[in-house]
A and B are shown apart, each in its own frame.
Chain A
Amino acid sequence: MADNRAAIDRDIAMYRRMRLIRRFEEWQPALIDAGEIIGHTHQYIGQEAVAVGVCQALNADDVVTSTHRGHGHVLAKGADAGRSFAELMGKETGYNKGRGGSMHLADLSLGIYGANGIVGAGAPMAVGAAATFQRRGEPRVAVAFFGDGAINQGVLLESLNLAAVWRVPVVFVCENNQYAVTTAIRDVLAAPIVGRAASFGLAAEAVDGMDARAVHNAAERAVARARAGGGASFLECATYRFEGHFTAERGKDFGYRPADEVAAWRRRCPIVALGDALQGEGAWTAAERATADAEVEAEIERALAFARASAYPPADSAHDFMYARSYPETPARGWE
């Protein structure tokens, strides 16, 4: 029973984290419309099981690299929703002190090496971190998150090869949400993704990315292999973004996804699925689930209040942090 209790606690933790991500993401359109978030964001809604299932298998000192659609990975790795909202709002209390925003969220103290605006660009950094852990004999693991769009990006393929040759402790997690912006992966890839990964000599596995438990189990195997010196692995997680590529797509129909396809995936919401499964298995009651939802809601409200109350960075601090060591007129200012 003890094992069972641990599994239930783990699943409840995953449920709550997914729910936190969902609510964090659902708030963004209103905050954008109100001018509180600058520009646009790439919402992670629908894909929560991947980030949470994988990160639940990681230790605090393991590291992740993320994508332009990175909020989910960052929150799943333990980031605070308040400092994350603050960053999206460009506040000084944000993780990046307002320098990065949505596409560059990072907290190195939590092992989050950053969301990234360039598809596939985080993968070699994960390999480099993992090679460093390996050289030092540290039992740490690096995870590279990327989407199906990255599978045709050269630097990712170079990274897959390096990780396989060096047998470094990396887990590559391909979130196949079926579309690179508007381009269907089936139109730009002639062979299965896992097959491509396996051809590099990586242990490669296809996983149901809408099932947090399935993702978590696969991630645990891959992470354990990496930690034990067994080398790198590749997980292809089939998933779907319920919203558009980015928030600017709201209210528009670019016509690249059939409505019935979207509807069918939406019926497979990973948060509802895990919540229902736990209830069906008698692991928690409807009331306990409602309490968990309410607690997440309260956390989101606290987070928003924190972010809103935070100050913007002072205007004259724009040039800070360019270099560890500055020199006269370096970085150069644009008007002097």
Chain B
Amino acid sequence: MAARTLTLLQAMNEAFRQEMARDPEIVYVGEDVRAPARGESAGLIDAFGPARVIDMPISEAAMAGVATGAAMAGARPIVAFQVTSLLFPAFDQLVNQAAKLPHMLGGQTHLPVTYIVLGSGARDGRAGQHSDAPHAHLLHAGIKCVMPTTPHDAKGLTIAAIREDDPVAVFVPALAAGRQGPVPEDAYALPLGRGAVRRPGRDVSVIAVGHHVHWVLAAAAELAKTGIELEVWEPLSLLPLDREGLLASVGRTGRAIIVDDGNRTCGFAGELSALLAERCFGRLKAPIKRLTRSDIPIPYSRGIEQTAVPDAGKLKAAVEQVMQWRG
């Protein structure tokens, strides 16, 4: 397959186009879809027309509910949330309706809905209500979630999400959205439930969720110069989760640091930590460490924003702790 260099959002745009061309029941619903500030839906209206590419009023709850009803009638909606925090006005329709209906109805319906959740995570002074990383909220409700961080994975996981007969949220980490990389031209789906070792290493497994993976890799390269080898493992698919891949990595190194942009309390890092404690206890050489955002709204000003989120300095301190641990 020929590959070109695209940004992550361009790769997703290509996924939308190729899938919508393949299946006339796929509709794209969102706010500002005709004139997207970040370009993810660019050109869709010209290619597929206003019956399939629908510009919504500011009505997030109805947007999510309309998608559910359309899916029950046989459509395969893609629903784009321009800001992660816009999941909150739609929350009942997401976690209490879409997530529950297939089970509550005894399997009478599938809900092939894809939620595109743009701009996940803290960065650049977006402050309290535009910096959320609310994947744990959806995971807690049993909604399948993926979080690609490269253009290649973004295209493949977006197509997989669209083809899945269940609701799937595709989180687009803010600091990865503009990243460039090679993307094959043809349509391809990557499997849900498969993580990836981004860098092999013998000493510590760093489970890097979302856009953290990129600076974690840079930090790992630096630490390698001091003789400490980090293994960087990226889940990519948060639900279903590649438990096997996660446990294999931590089983090899015996040390785990989880880096996640979500809140600390009842967050995704907490879930992974519990899983490792339950399944990997005998292999651990040191306590599991979590680097998460603090349980506060992300502060606006640069310095204090940085305080609230994981970074390389905190990672290095955590690595030191787990390497020097003497039980």
Contacts and interface: CB of A to CB of B under 8 A. Distances in A.
Contact of B61 (A99, A158, A328): A158
Given A63-B72, A114-B101, A328-B243, 12 more contacts: A96-B106, A104-B104, A104-B105, A118-B96, A127-B69, A128-B68, A128-B71, A131-B66, A131-B69, A135-B75, A142-B69, A155-B62
B57 A99 contact: no
Which of B59, B104, B164, B193 has most chain A Cβ within 10 Å?
Answer: B104
A109 B74 CA distance: 12
Contacts of B74: 132
Interface in B275-319: none
B27 A135 contact: yes
A254 interface: no
Contacts of A107: 108
A131 B70 contact: yes
Given A96-B105, A129-B70, A328-B243, A155 B52 contact: no
Given A108-B109, A114-B105, A162-B66, A155 B92 contact: yes
A323 interface: yes
B104 A325 contact: no
B65 to A, nearest CB: 3
B106 A128 contact: no
B10 to A, nearest CB: 27
Contact of B240 (A98, A124, A328): A328
A253 interface: no
Given A113-B69, A127-B66, A327-B193, A108 B59 contact: no
A128 B240 contact: no
B92 A321 contact: no
B229 interface: no
Which of B144, B164, B166, B240 gathers the greatest number of chain A CB atoms within 10 Å? B240
A158 B58 CA distance: 9
B37 interface: no
B93 interface: yes
A171 interface: no
Contacts of A127: 62, 65-66, 69
Interface in A106-151: 106-109, 113-114, 116, 118, 121, 123-133, 135, 142
A244 to B, nearest CB: 25
Interface in B60-110: 61-75, 77, 92-93, 96-97, 101-110
Given A100-B105, A104-B104, A321-B107, A125 B51 contact: no
Per CB-CB distance, the 7 closest pairs between chain A and chain B, nearest first, are A124-B65, A128-B69, A125-B69, A97-B106, A324-B165, A327-B240, A158-B62
Contacts of B104: 96, 99-100, 104, 114
Contact of A121 (B63, B93, B144, B239): B93
Contact of B164 (A108, A128, A321, A325): A325
Given A114-B101, A121-B96, A322-B102, A132 B70 contact: yes
Nearest to B192: A327
A162 B105 contact: no
Contacts of B71: 128
The listed residue with most B CB atoms (<10 A of its CB), out of A63, A95, A129, A133, is A129
Contacts of A133: 73
Contacts of B195: none
Interface string B102-126: 1111111110100000000000000
A126 B142 CA distance: 24
A217 interface: no
Contact of A98 (B102, B106, B109): B106
A128 B105 contact: no
A196 to B, nearest CB: 16
Contacts of B166: 323-325
Interface string B233-253: 000000111011000000000
Nearest to A138: B73
A162 B240 contact: no
Interface in A77-109: 94-100, 104, 106-109
Contacts of A114: 101, 104-105
A103 B240 CA distance: 29
Given A100-B105, A322-B142, A328-B243, A159 B65 contact: yes
Residue picked from B56, B61, B239, most chain A C-beta under 10 Å: B61
A132 B165 contact: no
Contacts of A100: 104-106
Contacts of A328: 193, 240, 243-244
